[in-house]
Amino acid sequence: MALVLCASTLLAAPAFAQSDEQVIYPACREVRNLDAMQYWFWEGYFGFVDVHDFTHERWGRLGLEPSVCFRIALVVVDNPQLKSAGYRQAVSELLLWVTEDDSDPDESAKLAIKQLERLTGEDFDTGVEWTEWWEVSHDFVLWSEDEERLLVVTEAQAAGETVHADARTLEPEEYWFYAGRGWLTESEPVGGFVFGSVLVPPHDFNYRVLSARLQDREAKENGYRRALDNLFVDGLLLPGLQGDSLDTVIDQISSLTGESYDDRDSWVAWWDLNRERLVLSPTGDRLVIRR
């Protein structure tokens, strides 16, 4: 656990007393600015030492090489997706320290095995077993905050559905907004999650969402209403939207509402009259006018 320091304690910690990096860590050969994925990689690789939290930043030293120091903004540390991705990368690198000949492991190999056991919860006797397990499992592991380890999503493994470690966790309303806009690809539910990609070039990203949370009708209604507003405000109401693009937007609006109009003006008139009265249908597949 990191030690939290406030401004009044800085004078008691000379290594952190000044803002200039060279003064803060005079014994550091290098100070690295880490992003969240890099932070969790190094934390999982060989850990950190001499870690301190300040008002906005965390500082410390790499466990593998204490002469190399790091700093990271506290606001970016707690990112489950990048934590999972960083830990997965750490496991791959740790395996390089575990040799096939385990008869006389050196201290680095012993430490690597200890880290592998912490990150995965597995306990293998040989480097061969560790390597073979990772080769068949690395595409299907996900960090679990509850169990504090990388779990193999067995359903995904059986289905051959890659679990993207960098997958952003969507809230149900976000999921239904993207679905209403037609921007989602998805898989069948695996291990309690739905995985897929949000396709909004140039910012496509992978996602995951808990299957059970998609049963929330209020979230689905709000997501669909946001999608419909977006289709009008950033679509149908733009005079420059013409041709195939206009037809695509109208098709999406029709799919979300079950209504059918041939021209832009009729759709806009319908929306102005009914936008505040739209609710999720009893079947949950579209928005209908509340009677």
> What are the tens digits of pLDDT across the range 103-147?
667 788 889 999 999 999 999 988 889 999 999 999 888 888 888
pLDDT digits (tens, 9 = 90+) for 156-188: 788 777 777 667 888 999 999 999 999 988 766
- pLDDT tens-digit readout, 194-204: 888 888 867 78
Task: Compute CA distances 195 → 102, 142, 257, whole Å.
Answer: 38, 12, 26
Q: How far apart are CA 90 and CA 82, in angstroms?
A: 12
Tell me the sheet residues that pair with 73: 57
Q: Give the per-residue pLDDT at 14.
A: 42
Residue 25: pLDDT band (50, 70, 90) is low
Query: Among the listed ranges 64-68, 142-146, 241-245, 275-279, which one has the minimum average pLDDT value?
Result: 142-146
Statement: the pTM of the whole predicted model exceeds 0.85: no
pLDDT tens digit string along 205-230? 888 888 889 999 999 999 999 999 99
Percentage, residues of the chain above pLDDT 70: 87
